[in-house]
Amino acid sequence: MGGYSLSDLWSIVVMQGFSGLSLFSVLLLMALGLAIIFGQMGVINMAHGEFMTIGAYMIYFCSRIVAKYMPGFMPYYFVFAIVVAFVVAFAVGYFVEFLLIRHLYKRPLDTLLATWGLSLIMQQVFRSLFGAREVSPQLPDWLMGAWKATDTIDIPLNGLFVMALSILVTSGVFLFLYRSSWGLKVRATTQNRVMAGAVGINTRLVDRLTFALGCGIAGVAGAAFTTIGSTGPTSGSLYIVDTFLVVAFGGAGSLLGTIFSAFSIAQVQSLLTFFLTNAMGKVTTLLAVIVILMLRPEGLRPNKVRK
Amino acid sequence: MKQKQFAIESKTSRRMLTALSAAMLLALAGSASAGGPPTAKVDATGLAVTDTDVTVGILHSSTGTMAISETGAQEAEKLAISQINAMGGVLGRKIKIVQEDGASDWPTFAEKAKKLLEENHVAAIFGCWTSASRKAVLPVLERDNGLLYYPTFYEGLEQSKNVVYTGQEATQQVFAGLDWVAKTKHAKTFYLIGSDYIWPRTTMKLAREYITRVLHGTVVGEEYAALGSTDFGSTINKIRLKHPDVIYAAVVGGSNVSWFKQLKAAGITGKSQTLLTLSVTEDEAKGIGGENLVGFYSAMKYFESLNTPENQKFVKDFHAMWGPTAPIGDVTQAAYEGPWLWKMAVEKAGSFDTDKVVKAEESGTISFDAPEGMIYLEPNHHLKTRLRIGEWRPDGQADIVYTSPYIMPNPFPKGY
């Protein structure tokens, strides 16, 4: 590469590596909620993007309230607002399961249609409540801008934040599923619903909480993405395709698979976008995913469950 | 809930006030409406015209992805129409509105345009935002001989007798802006980035030609991001490697927000980097956040901060009707011009009939003292306007740092 100094190239390599990792944590965070719901319950939640939007609007809502009533709290509110986002998305998910999803467990294609309808309804609700225009929540200063590691290396703070958050959420989900008694019940229900019911597990409640948990995590993802993307009634639809891509590629329902898949897609896409054009990078990534899925239809790391 | 009701009441009472003052104005003016010419004379083609009113259509997306952008345009059109009605209407007839929702879906736009023209027999349509929706509506307009007033700045390469383009075509928005940035920032190297569809691609093609041929500069990179793309990390690194004097951007929609937030996060701000964009108005600034735009430049024909008595009155009226925080962007102002230009063309023609109105539009004598300043409707259905460069402030408003001389519209530039 003529014309570039060695230190320039070195900083680009570092920043490019970080940008790949940052995309990885974004993909992971948004796919996690969908993977839980799909993997544990076999429900394809087309309204996943809208649950993310709920999270984003909660950040906006909290930022407005804090700016108005306690401006001194501004630098810290974001962390609490993420908790609010989780709780609200969790609650909405809980009611959606109760009103809609539980009637459709034996009809997977109908859940697809029903949740898609739900996504349209939710978009219109956002539009009526918050207006059709995009909004921008006021973010604390420590989240915006770059950390100057050296003279030529700038590391985005929002990228670091999303990365930390997705590590936190992923480990939380792992602890919950594999180290708690609730997780045991969830896994038992996934493996054999009838048997789990026979040994006294309330499978209905397990379903409801699993669905709500997935939605809650979507809310957290949406909240975190206010630092890197837009907040509008249809913002969720920007992420939904990538989300499905990650989950399908990872092998539906396996958390480890989701992590592997998010990592490989992010690295490939980020590198290809650097060396090719933006659009070509994305196209080539999609093509690679399609070819691999044709050879391995069950995805990278499928869940081994006796059917 | 209570508050909402109150808001609605106050809006109605405001409207009643407007109506009341309109009535008073009319009485003072010796009742213009009573003096309107007979209907048979002003409508020979079966339009929805009666002795007292005339029906027009508003066709924008109230739902779907484009609702974000099209809201301002329809608000401005309704404001203009209510003001025209308060002044006595057009040819002594009050304007009635039929509103249809294009739902961000191009075939729906065509279908609704057909409905407006064939069932409602509207005298004119104010609407469309994206080029795709305009292209979908165009065959319907030409078949049914309807009139469309289209408000968005767009790529040019089109001129239909049935359309008046109140936004700027590409040459008006691109050349003067590049001249300015080359001169004031001594820019030699440019990095072009846009969303991947017809408007940015055509615009960037013009820009590339102009930069190399006229400005003798270099394009060091040209890049298009898929519509809806949210990750700009690698793109930003590529730009960083090239050290361009100017980043020239036309990214749209949700991507636009990601693009500016990630630029800021990468440490690229108005302090260290010149960036000129063609796709940020006050509407977009609200979604992006002013703090992420500070020091960057937009090339537009209108900014809300424009300090003239005409504009201050417009901003005041707009905020009175739609709330004090509603942003007013370039397209919103261009949409406001539509009904006024139509009124002038109709009155010059003395008729609502499309062919006569088109003849009046093409006469080259229609001009209007708009919020942006005087505008002139040229025989090629586009407006002769000026271009302004705005520098963004943290509050989501722009300081106007440059105003160009008047630029003739040239939708079919030679040699590009």
* Nearest CA-CA distance, residue B123 and chain A, Å: 28
Q: How many CB pairs under 8 A join A and B?
A: 145
Burial of A297 (0-12, 13-18, 19+ CB in 10 A): exposed
Q: Do residues B97 and B148 share a domain?
A: yes
Task: Please name the member of A12, A15, A23 whose beta carbon is closest to the beta carbon of B231.
Answer: A23
Model pLDDT, residue B358: 96
**Is A20 in contact with B67 (Cβ distance < 8 A)?**
no
**Domain co-membership, B46 together with B74:** yes
* Chain A residues touching residue B286 (CB < 8 angstroms): 133-136
Full-prediction pTM beyond 0.90?
A: no
Residue B393 sits in the same domain as residue B376: no
Chain A contact probe: residue of B261, B281, B291, B332 with most A CBs at under 10 A: B261
Residues near A233 by beta carbon (within 8 Å), at least 6 away in sequence: A53, A123, A124, A126, A127, A130, A132, B67, B68
CA distance B10 to chain A (A): 19
Q: Residue for token digits 């029906």?
A: B55
Domain presence at residue A296: no
Q: What per-residue confidence (pLDDT) applies to A1?
A: 44
B20 found inside a domain = no
Whether B43 is covered by a domain: the verdict is yes
Is there a contact between B241 and A4 if contact means CB atoms under 8 Å apart?
yes
Rounded CA Rg of chain A: 20
Q: Which residues of A touch B234 (CB under 8 A)?
A: 16, 19, 270-271, 273-274, 278, 281
Q: Is residue A300 part of a domain?
A: no
Q: What is the pLDDT of residue A131?
A: 82
Q: Mutate which of B60, B61, B71, B241 to test chain A, going by most A C-beta atoms within 10 A? A: B241
Q: Residue B408: inside a domain, yes or no?
A: no
Position A46 in a domain: yes
Decide if B98 is inside a domain. Answer: yes
**With contacts defined as CB-CB under 8 Å, which chain A residues touch B264?**
144-145
Look up tokens 């025989």; give the residue: B379
Whole-angstrom CA distances from B207 to A95, B176, B315, B416 are 53, 11, 32, 10
Task: Report how far residue B88's alpha carbon sits from residue A243's, in angstroms, rounded to the nearest whole number.
Answer: 55
In a domain, B12, yes or no: no
Environment class of A253 (CB within 10 Å of its CB; exposed 0-12, middle 13-18, buried 19+) = buried
Whether A114 is in a domain gets the answer yes
Q: What confidence score (pLDDT) does residue A276 get?
A: 85
Q: Chain B residue with minimal CA distance to A157?
A: B265
In a domain, A67, yes or no: yes
- Phi first, then psi, for residue B59 (nearest 5°) are -130, 90
- Give, as one character, the DSSP assignment of residue A57: H
User: A35 in a domain, yes or no?
Assistant: yes
Would you state the pLDDT for residue B4?
A: 42
B110 vs A55: CA distance, rounded Å: 36
Q: Do B327 and A281 touch (CB under 8 A)?
A: no
B416, part of any domain:
no
Decide if A13 is inside a domain. Answer: no
Please judge whether A279 and B225 are an interchain contact, meaning their C-beta atoms are less than 8 angstroms apart. Answer: yes
B240 and B266 co-located in one domain: yes
Same domain, B269 and B396: yes
**Pairwise CB contact (< 8 Å): B267 & A159:** no
Q: Which of B236, B262, B286 sits opposite A134 (nearest CB)?
A: B286
Domain enclosing residue B330, as ranges: 32-166+307-384
- Give the count of domains, chain B: 2
Same domain, B256 and B121: no
Residue B160 CA to residue B331 CA, distance in Å, equals 20
Q: Which amino acid is at A259?
A: I
Considering the domain architecture, whether residues B324 and B182 belong to the same structural domain is answered as no
Q: What DSSP element (H or E) covers A155?
A: strand A154-156
In order along chain B (416 residues), what is the average pLDDT of each group of 10 residues? 42 50 46 66 90 95 81 95 96 95 92 96 95 94 96 93 95 93 94 91 92 94 87 88 93 88 90 94 90 94 95 96 93 97 96 96 95 96 96 95 96 84
**Neighbouring-strand partners of residue A135:** A231
Q: Give the domain CATH number at B143.
A: 3.40.50.2300
Tell the burial category of A293 from Cβ atoms under 10 Å away from its Cβ (0-12, 13-18, 19+): middle
pLDDT at res. B27: 44
Chain B residues whose beta carbon lies within 8 Å of the beta carbon of residue A23:
231, 233
Residue A127: closest C-alpha in chain B: B63
Residue B130 and residue B185 share a domain: no
Residue B278 and residue B358 share a domain:
no
**Could you give the CA distance from residue B245 to residue B258 in angstroms, rounded to a whole number?**
22
Residues B274 and B161 in one domain: no
Angstrom distances, CA of residue B221 to CA of A283, B241, B242, B272, B372: 20, 10, 8, 19, 34
Residue B375 lies in a domain: yes
Whether A278 is in a domain gets the answer no
**One domain, residues B292 and B194:** yes
User: With b meaning 16 or more CB within 10 Å and e meaning fewer, what string describes B312-327?
Assistant: eebbebbeebbeeebb
Q: How many domains are contained in chain A?
A: 1
Chain B CA closest to residue A132: B68
B110 and B193 part of one domain: no
Complex confidence, ipTM: 0.84
What are the residue ranges in chain A where pLDDT is below 50?
1, 306-307
**Does residue B7 sit at the A interface (CB-CB below 8 Å)?**
no
Instruction: Return residues 339-398 of B near A (CB < 8 Å).
Output: none
Instruction: Looking at the complex, report in whole angstroms how far the Cα of residue A24 sits from the nearest Cα belonging to chain B.
Output: 11
Substitution target from A228, A284, A285 for chain B, most B beta carbons within 10 A = A228
Which run of H or E residues covers position B218? strand B218-225
- Is B161 a member of any domain? yes
B84 in contact with A at a CB cutoff of 8 Å?
A: no
Best of A15, A130, A278 to disrupt the B interface (most B CBs within 10 Å) is A278
User: Would you give the distance in Å from CA B313 to the centre of its chain?
Assistant: 19
- The domain in which residue A49 lies consists of 21-236
